Amino acid sequence: MHEQIRYSFGGDEHLFAEVAESMSLEAFFRGMAITRAIERQAIPGVLDVCLANASFQVRFDPDQVAPQALLEQVRELEAHATTERSIRTRIIEIPVLYNDPWTHETLMRFRDRHQDPASTDLEYAARINGYQDAQAFIEAHSGTPWFVSMVGFVAGLPFMYQMVERERQLQVPKYLRPRTDTPRLTLGHGGCFGCIYSVRGAGGYQMFGVTPAPIYDPQQRLGYLRDSMVFFRAGDIVQFRPIDRAEYDRAVAEVEAGSFALRIRPVEFDLDAFLADPQGCKQRLQEVLHVA
């Protein structure tokens, strides 16, 4: 039995729908089914449809479609939308230099805004999640795939949901007060969500490392960004791979030379198969990633 979707209006041009109070792959897939139905319907006056973690938003022109009429149409589509339980998507390997010097320098500058000023972000995350040390936490963080459930906040930033049983999900609160600085391509974590900061700027997520892989580039200089300046899209699956400083530096040099590439494989993800056997699903995804 699905939760009842809660609708509300934001100003004169937005209809917001809360699919569920908490994130789950079930909620994401239901939101995806409804937003795809809205897009197929091509309702006059609808300007944009934005899918989020457990919600979606519709931007519309009130001169072309009355708010209440739009709400009635969306509710009708909701009633008849069939949730797709399997999607064709991509699994992507993202190299990460955990415990890097740049996020370490940044987090040390902002310890007065942190829950535990005496610990680093990794040490704090390890402790509150019951891991012996930062290395054990890194192994847990990089040992499972992550599902991209939303792209936004700033251009190209992916929100990622760990693909494990709910009781095993890593959870870490955001900083007590946001930082005014976060290095570009920082691997962050807040609540149950991971992210990659696509650009340098303010942020409140805990910082675990950096990736050398650009994920947003208006110049589209790398092969995997040729189709879009924003790399990630909702439904992508991410597998982090820890790397050392030497490999990180080589990757940065390849980025500058325009020759850097990511390991990307097409994959079919079945929601029911995952819910029935998360560990088996993880193994299958990782096998697909490493097919030559």
> ∠ CA 94-96-98 to the nearest 5 degrees?
155
* C-beta separation of 157 from 195 below 8 A: yes
Residue 283: which H helix or E strand, with range?
Answer: helix 278-289
What pLDDT was estimated at residue 153? 87
CATH class entry, domain 88-289: mainly beta
**What pTM, to 2 d.p., does this model score?**
0.92
What pLDDT was estimated at residue 292? 66
Which regions in the chain score pLDDT beneath 70?
1, 292
Give tens-digit pLDDT for 166-215: 899 999 999 999 999 999 999 999 999 999 999 999 999 999 999 999 99
Domain 6-84 matches domain 88-289 at the CATH topology level: no
- State percent of the chain over pLDDT 70: 99
Ordered by start, the domain boundaries in the chain are 6-84, 88-289
What pLDDT was estimated at residue 127? 97
Spatial distance between the Cα atoms of 202 and 100, rounded to a whole number of angstroms? 19
- The domain over range 6-84 is classified in CATH as 3.30.1360.40: yes
Spatial distance between the Cα atoms of 197 and 96, rounded to a whole number of angstroms? 13
Spatial distance between the Cα atoms of 273 and 280, rounded to a whole number of angstroms? 9
Residue type, 81: A
Spatial distance between the Cα atoms of 136 and 41, rounded to a whole number of angstroms? 48
Q: How many CA atoms lie within 13 A of 107 on its CB side?
A: 29
